[in-house]
Amino acid sequence: MNAQLASAVSVQSEIVEEFSFLGDWTERYQYLIDLGRKLATFPEAWRTEPNRLVGCQSQVWIVPEGDAERLVLHATSDSTIVSGLIALALRVYSGRTAQEILAAEPKYIEAIGLKTHLSPTRSNGLAALLRKIKEYAARADAGERFEAPAA
């Protein structure tokens, strides 16, 4: 395993450990809400149709920035729990190489119980988010460079 993949894996391990300290799903959902509230500011100018994630019941916007060497992802949602799911995904994938993003499977989802505790619509939205992240990574790996729109 290369060092970069280990870092994505270790971040997922940290997430699993954090969730292991939380008792029931009421506490876990509250933690997700808290994480969502701490997402970086997402400029209003980026909340456009081309940046909207299709496949989510909630409104979700995602903007990539960078290239194969370092792909930074900016995202937000109008839902607090979905924002928390975004925060976890960005923690695992944003700021990494395209290769690392493509290689790192989101094992934390099942490990912390999200797979069984999310509603079908939230599960579909999370899957759509992860597909979009992998799509951006594949495009970056193929040589595409992303510029964030002016805020």
User: How far, in Å, CA of 91 to CA of 99, rounded?
Assistant: 16
Catalytic residue among 9, 32, 53, 56: 56
Cα–Cα distances in Å, from 45 out to 7, 40, 80, 92?
32, 15, 20, 25
- The verdict on whether 56 is a catalytic residue reads yes
Span between the terminal Cα atoms of the chain, in Å = 38
Burial 2-32 (b: 16+ CB within 10 A, else e): eeebeebbebbeebeeebeeeeeeeebbebb
The strand pairing partners of 60, in sequence order, are 77
Could you give the residue numbers annotated as active site? 56
